[in-house]
Structure 1
Amino acid sequence: MHNFIEQRLEVIREHNAIVSVLAVHKPSLYSAVTDGFDCLLLVVTRQDGQAQRHHVHYIKDNFRIQERWITPEALEEQIVHGVERSFIYWVLKGEILLDRETFLEGLRHRMLEFPEEIRDQKLLIEFSRFLRCYMRSKDYLSEEHLLDAYHDILEALHHWARIAIIEAGFHPEVTVWSQVKQINHGIYKLYEELTLSKETLKQRVELVLLACEFSVMSKMAACCKPLLQQLGSRSEAWSLEELQQCPQLTDVRNELPLLLNKLVKKTLAKEVIAAADPELSSLELRYQDVKQAVV
């Protein structure tokens, strides 16, 4: 099918707006990394309308190809903020067929460098998701909804594994558990205990909840660095609405109430009471960095 891909590439080259083309071949028979297709062609174009319209499937001699078009901005957004981990695999593992402005080479290089700013952003995202699942599991367990508690603590453990991978300087890939096994065997062991142990379901959930409480919650300050930096960026306390409008916190805007509540309880942030609606005689809670509060 190499000739067919080459023929398709020649057609794509005629579009002046095309920046790069990447080919990703299905690594194994049952892999979903290419959505089940034998090959994925990722076409990077500067025309947003063109990218939105173009998502085509081909077949020739029983060889199936998926062609997806995307803008450079949308691809970078997926790498930094997206939840679809396949994009990271595609950029890191794919074969670059066309790269007029060395866009993909540059993006791949930045990903491998994994600069601190992107690491901090990903840690905040993963910690917010971990915290939500962890808290839900505790609630379900207290109400004896064991299967729901199990589901959420397994999801929390998955985010903990991703946190460990990011801390080690790597992008979490599609196969997180095989990846974390090489980086943090303790987390992998907990995964085995949760899924394979002969203890009761309740005992397994309790074990992982306890490990999360002592291990991951101690990482709150490091994982919430972008949020704490935002709180400390001015002397005045911040309202929830103001924080939700900050571009740096867009990815966790829905989780900010839970994050702020936990930061206050851990004395990493401080609540400040401010006047709100006089007609309702209500007071507004605002949030401040602890160091600013001391000053």
Structure 2
Amino acid sequence: MEHVHTYIENIAKCEDVLSVLAITQPEQNGLFADGAHRIYLVISDRPGANWSTNYFVFAGCPIVEHRFSRWQIERWAMHGLDEQMARLFASARIVHDDGDYMKRKREQLLKLPSHLQKLQICKEYSLFLRFFTEAKELFRKGHILDCFLSLQQSLRRWARLVAYEMNEYPDHSVWMQIKQFDSAVYKLYEELVIGNEPLAKRIELLMIPIEVGLLAKLEPSSQYIIDILGTRNKPWLLSELFRLPQIDGSGIELHLLLDKMVKRSLVQEIILSGAGDYSEKAYLLSD
């Protein structure tokens, strides 16, 4: 362990280094470890690259060092982290902290900004809807094993949705996390995978409570889309919505979600006619 303390002491001497965080179980963060025995996160107050990575061996110990600028940390604190980066900072231990910078910032980093929380809730709900819709169709056709896989995925998306509702990033072990937050959703998953009934019967029994949960979550989970539709009084063309920066690349199953919102009278669907036989769907918030 002496070489570890030497490394920390050496790097802490640099005037531009604000904080150093250490991860001693890098196998839990394989994407960032790349075979190293230790991961260090170094926060620097020096102008330069916002994020750089160095691989080296210090006193016989393979180390990967991720350096982040203070500007990058401030940006993440304002706009939010992705899940993998959130897990990285959550699992790291502060070993040097000039002025308690990271002690103050880490709590902010691991808290979801409201706009990101709404986006992730909407995304997870739309995927919950997609996989449940698939499961219903597969069950109707008698494809039980395929239905089981889709239903399992729908419950996983529900679990991730619950985590985001609790203003938490979903863990790798999301079911252990959800067991604490929502025991009812956990029990549905438990009944699906280890219930005593034959598989087809288990699926049949679970379809109704899962669909009830799906419908109950529709309006609050669609708030991200409702907010976008409410930014103007005239209808939004479907093609316009898909091109919006807030939607493009978001992972939201927009078409499927809008269809469900129309059926539940949250949104009005309008068919706008164009030149010739061309027509396009448009959407407007219901009164």
Q: What TM-score does the superposition give when structure 2 sets the normalisation length?
A: 0.80
Is 1:122 paired with 2:130? Answer: no
Following the alignment from structure 1 to structure 2, what is the Cα–Cα distance between the partners of residues 259 and 100? Answer: 47
- For these two proteins, the number of residue pairs brought into alignment is 280
Instruction: Spell out, residue by residue over 1:111-163, the C-alpha distance to the aligned partner (whole angstroms, 9 max, x if none).
Output: 45545333222211211221222222222222333222212211211111122
Name the structure 2 match of 1:76: 76
Question: What does 1:41-190 align with in structure 2 at a 5 Å threshold?
Answer: 41-43=40-42, 51=51, 54=53, 56=55, 58=57, 61=60, 64-69=62-67, 72=72, 76=76, 80=80, 82=82, 85-97=83-95, 104-111=102-109, 113-190=111-188
Provide the residue aligned with 1:32 in structure 2: 28
- 1:96 & 1:113 partners in 2: Cα distance? 18
Q: After superposition, what is the alpha-carbon deviation per residue over 1:52-81, rounded to whole angstroms, capped at 9, x for unaligned?
A: 6x36365865x554444566279839x847
Q: Which residue of 1 aligns with 2:277?
A: 281
Mapped partners of 2:141, 2:214: distance in 1: 23
Residues in 1 aligned to 2:122 and 2:283: alpha-carbon distance in whole angstroms? 18
* Alignment partner, residue 4 of structure 1: 4
**Kept in 2: contact 1:140–1:148 (CA 8 A):** yes
CA distance in 1, matches of 2:10, 2:152: 46
Distance 1:44 1:134 in 2: 43
Moved more, 111-120 or 169-178: 111-120
Matched residue type, 2:91 = K
For residues 131 and 144 of structure 1, the distance between their equivalents in structure 2, rounded to whole angstroms, comes to 20
RMSD of Structure 2 on Structure 1 (CA): 3.4
CA distance in 2, matches of 1:241, 1:101: 50
Report the 3-state secondary structure (helix = DSSP H, G, I; strand = E; otherwise coil) of the residue aligned with 1:226: helix
SS at match of 2:126: helix
CA distance in 2, matches of 1:138, 1:192: 19
**Partner secondary structure for residue 267 of structure 1:** coil
Confirm whether residue 245 of structure 1 aligns to residue 243 of structure 2. Answer: yes
| Ranges in structure 2 where 5+ consecutive residues have no aligned partner | none
Question: CA separation of 1:95/1:2 partners in 2, compared to 1, >3 Å: closer, same or farther?
Answer: farther
Give a deviation string over 1:254-292, Cα, whole Å, max 9, x none. 52111111111111111112233x1x411111111112x
Q: 1:188 to 1:48 in 2, by over 3 A?
A: farther
